[in-house]
Structure 1
């Protein structure tokens, strides 16, 4: 069992749907492309969050050095913390900051993969460092709170509640359950299903086209 899901798995009164618009084995190119799309919808409320599943102690320490923010939480069983005083819980069970990571390797036995996440940071504060540090691990960068503009020439209204961009590292899916060797950029719009079809899919195509991209795969729900 691992830490609670991050904000990208939150339950909302309405739902978003995400479309892949770019894929590459080059993480730097993936970040540059995701930023270009994010900047198209960037507004004063824009922010960034990130998440990773780190498969080795070396990976954990590398991310901690690169980004001394957020929390690290190891895999655990429920009986390791239920009715156990906080001070008596094993290291990594409740989540620790980078400064609280165990120094001894033995503390990580049975705790891998370790989840790491940061929420609600200023745009531009962590993205490059995270991209350089994630290595072969599965993870993501998410830019929520964007503002997609109207597209009157296409008869499409803008939106903000579900205006997001996500960069998936080493996976093709929002659930992070299919490891790959490349990285995928997703554009998010509001989900509006009618007769089994996504009525807002044309808007995703329009958004992608505004920055020279195109939808390259089916919609992803979360």
Structure 2
């Protein structure tokens, strides 16, 4: 059992530049089995409806109260709580009461299949594009073997945290490596620096946990 940690390596208010930079880093580790997932949160019904039109294939899910549906069969729970694709979202605005923020996600897709459309649709909302199943190469001069399990890249939109809980006016690229702490130090941090440097980037802040 192991976890990853992520280091910020680039930040800009320019969405197109953020996406192209994240792709450059992702391409450095891309392999045959690499995949991409996207996720966003929307705090208004208007934004949910707008994005559902732009990303009709997205799966949308609203919040549910604590133990709200205990004992309620799955088929009897509201569609918005169970999760539906864009065209099946309820038209009745009352269905969204107590359900915001609404989440939207698409998971485990081929690289290059969703990134551009998602970047166009995200607007001012917090979200992320996450590439995984990458393959980081060996860095023998640092004594590091290559990494695959935790070889990942994340592009955060309109936030600087992986929890998407702190709004920002810019976008941040993260490089992921395996978490390996000894006496409070992360032993893989030099590897994160090396990975960033291979594509002309540099670590610009402290690591973030999963």
Once structures 1 and 2 are overlaid, which stretch shifts more, 149-158 or 125-134? Answer: 149-158
User: Quick check: 1:51–1:139 contact (8 Å CA) kept in 2?
Assistant: yes
Structure 2 distance, partners of 1:44, 1:65, is: 31
SS in 1 for 2:39: strand
Match of 1:210 among 194, 198, 206: 198
Q: What are the superposed Cα offsets for residues 30-66 of structure 1, whole Å, 9 maximum, x if unpaired?
A: 1111000000000001000111111112221222222
Task: State the SS of the aligned residue for 1:64.
Answer: helix
Q: Any residues of structure 2 matched to 1:48-87 within 5 Å, and which? A: 48-87=36-75
In terms of mean alpha carbon deviation, does 72-81 or 45-54 score higher? 72-81
Aligned residues: 210
Q: 1:128 aligns with which of 113, 116, 120?
A: 116
CA shift digits 1:87-128 (9 cap, x unpaired) = 432341111121210122222222111011111000011111
Match of 1:186 in 2: 174
CA distance in 2, matches of 1:108, 1:22: 36
How far apart are residue 214 of structure 1 and its match?
0.3
Paired residues of 1:166 and 1:187 also in contact (CA < 8 A): yes
The question of whether the paired residues in 2 share the 8 Å contact of 1:127 and 1:141 is answered with yes
Corresponding residue SS for 1:143:
strand
SS of structure 1 residue aligned to 2:168: strand
Q: What do the CA deviations read for 1:142-184 (whole angstroms, capped 9, x no partner)?
A: 0010000112233322110000000011111111121111110
**Matched position secondary structure for 1:40:** helix
Counterpart in the other structure of 2:137: 149
TM-score (norm 1): 0.90
| Range moving further from structure 2, 117-126 or 103-112 | 103-112
Tell me, which stretches of 5 or more residues in structure 2 are unaligned? none
5 Å matches for 1:1-222? 13-222=1-210
Between the aligned partners of 2:59 and 2:176, the Cα distance in structure 1 is 26
How far apart, in 2, do the equivalents of 1:186 and 1:88 lie? 40
Q: Report the Cα distance in structure 1 between the residues aligned to 2:188 and 2:66, rounded to whole angstroms.
A: 41
The SS at the match of 2:158 is strand
Q: Could you state the TM-score of these two structures normalised by the residue count of structure 2?
A: 0.95
